[in-house]
Amino acid sequence: MVSTAVAAADNPWFSWSYVTENADVLWARTSEHALLTVEAVAIAALVAIPLGLLASRVRWLAGPLLGTAAILYTVPSLALFAILAPIMGIGRQPVLLGLVLYALLVILRNTVTGLDGVDPAAVDAARGLGHGPLQVLARVRLPNALPSIVAGLRLATVTTVALVTVGVVVGYGGLGQLMFQGFRNNFYRAEIVTATLLCVVLALVLDLVLWAAGRALTPWLRGRSA
Amino acid sequence: MSTGVVDEAITYLNDPLSWTGPGGILELGREHLALTAAAVLVAAFVALPVGAWLGHGRRGGGVAVWLTNASRAVPTLGIILLLATAGLFGDGATVVAAALFAVPVLLVNTYEGVRGADASARDAAVGLGMPGRQVLTRVELPLATGLVAAGVRTAVVQVSATVPLAALAGGGGLGQIIALGMGTQRYGQVLAGGLLVALLALVLDGVFAVVQRLVTPAPLRAAARR
């Protein structure tokens, strides 16, 4: 590794000229990263929220469902991608599926916790008013569980943004591609630092968007301390 | 493609040469375990005293929780590659990077465990005239064992998942099988490596689940199960 000594002389941790000269690549990778994250969390939510509803209704299903999701969550992301990619082919698909499987647990757990935490008196009151099961679900149980579900979505999103970078091991890692490229390209620090920072910023932005959406959807909670 | 890859993986795993000898699965697995143990020990060395001290004084909890949440947004891969460009290579870098990401979970669990120790037990100890140090070591820490053990379990699994990432930057452990397989386009080997890393994480999780149960005082077991 002779190159480290040579490169250290002119290898800044950050460089504006790198950012401006590579703005298009940075933008392309960031949007690729964001799209993959949003898609993965959206698919995971479409699977996990209905499963959570099912688990809160059919009690004996909750254990096996959460257990399966927990096992998937325990499998390291790198291993998951390494298992899926050879079978599905190198590229975007195995990374997407891996991210979905990973996000399932957090969303499922928070959905079940949220639904379990709904005040039974509120459900009783709604039944007393003549609401049917679907109405109770749509007008009482889901709105009350919403803060917990949104918290799950936020956690899943932030985790997924960081995990996308691991996809580089099977050739599709969004900003992770830039990190690895910078590493192989004579340890070009500015590229790695920029990609890492963009990754953190993306996580914060998406988290903020979900926080705002959650706030907009639960106007009755405003003014209370979260 | 898929059946061929599965066959290749089985062939690889059935070949005694893959297991024994230098760079074999057994040696890499031992290396993986040693790196995991070293990283968890380093992290515990920092996180346990700080967590216990903060929990005993009941302060800084917000910082600990914020640290945990923020650390989720930081891509591990970026940090590992940056450490490499800073001249920190191989096993040392792997241990440092993995330990960095294990600190938050250990810190928060120790903090919550010590802070959450039964208030009347703490009051009784103070009433008996115990100095603060003894209250911590003889009352609060024993009551915190369950949560600390849960933190150690999470940290071990997480570190065993971070170590293979370092293989991308030349680190050791089972991740080498995946990195090497990708580099030489032997996807059967990638699949086998993924399965091995996944299996190791699941076994470690199971072993430490048992440890967690054994070290948790019986009356606290119900409380620790979350």
> What's chain A's average pLDDT?
88
Q: Is the pLDDT of residue B92 over 50?
A: yes
- DSSP, res B128: T
CA distance B171 to B173: 7
Query: pLDDT tens, B35-44?
Result: 999 999 999 9
Q: Is the pLDDT of residue A10 over 70?
A: yes
Q: Nearest C-alpha of chain A: how many angstroms from B194?
A: 4
Judge residue B166's burial from the number of C-beta atoms within 10 Å of its C-beta, 0-12 exposed, 13-18 middle, 19 or more buried. Answer: buried
- Across B109-126, average pLDDT: 87
- DSSP, res A78: H
pLDDT value, residue B222: 62
Would an 8 Å CB–CB cutoff place A2 in contact with chain B? no
Q: Is the pLDDT of residue A1 over 50?
A: no
Q: Is B194 close to A165, i.e. CB distance below 8 A?
A: no
Query: pLDDT tens, A130-186?
Result: 998 888 888 899 999 999 999 999 999 999 999 999 998 888 889 999 998 888 887
Q: Nearest C-alpha of chain A: how many angstroms from B12?
A: 14
CA distance A214 to A77: 28
CA distance A6 to A9: 6
Test mutation, B7, B35, B79, B81, chain A, max A CBs within 10 A: B81
Give the residue among B113, B115, B226, B97 at the shortest CA–CA distance from B169: B97
Would an 8 Å CB–CB cutoff place A97 in contact with chain B? no
Q: Is the pLDDT of residue B226 over 70?
A: no
pLDDT value, residue A3: 46
Chain A residues 14-73 with a CB less than 8 Å from chain B = 71
Q: Is the pLDDT of residue A6 over 60?
A: no
From A144-153, A186-195, A216-225, B114-123, the region with the lowest mean pLDDT = A216-225
| CA angle centred on B204, ends B203 and B208, rounded to 5° | 120
Judge residue A132's burial from the number of C-beta atoms within 10 Å of its C-beta, 0-12 exposed, 13-18 middle, 19 or more buried. Answer: exposed
Percent of chain A residues past pLDDT 70, beyond the cut: 95
Q: Could you give all domains of chain A from N- to C-terminal order, each with its CATH number?
A: 21-215 (1.10.3720.10)
pLDDT value, residue B62: 79
Q: Nearest C-alpha of chain A: how many angstroms from B188?
A: 7
- The identity of residue A204, as a single letter, is L
pLDDT value, residue B32: 93
3-state helix, strand, coil in chain B (%, to 5): 85, 0, 15
Q: Nearest C-alpha of chain B: how many angstroms from A53?
A: 20
Q: Is the pLDDT of residue B223 over 70?
A: no
Cβ proximity of A39 and A207 under 8 Å: no
pLDDT greater at residue B197 or residue B6: B197
Q: Is B187 close to A83, i.e. CB distance below 8 A?
A: no
Cβ proximity of B116 and B147 under 8 Å: yes
CA distance A76 to A164: 13
Q: Is B198 close to A83, i.e. CB distance below 8 A?
A: yes
Q: Is B78 close to A192, i.e. CB distance below 8 A?
A: yes
CA distance A141 to B196: 42
- Across B112-118, average pLDDT: 86
Give the residue among B166, B158, B157 at the shortest CA–CA distance from B77: B166
- What's the token pair of residue B191? 């699949």
Test mutation, A3, A6, A11, A74, chain B, max B CBs within 10 A: A74
Highest mean predicted confidence (pLDDT) among B49-53, B65-69, B203-207, B222-226: B203-207
Cβ proximity of A76 and A70 under 8 Å: no
Q: Is B85 close to A183, i.e. CB distance below 8 A?
A: yes
Q: Is B202 close to A77, i.e. CB distance below 8 A?
A: no
For chain B, the C-alpha Rg in angstroms (whole number) is: 21
Cβ proximity of B55 and B107 under 8 Å: no
Q: Could you give all domains of chain B from N- to C-terminal order, each with its CATH number?
A: 2-224 (1.10.3720.10)
Query: pLDDT tens, B145-188?
Result: 889 999 999 999 999 998 998 888 878 889 999 988 888 888 88
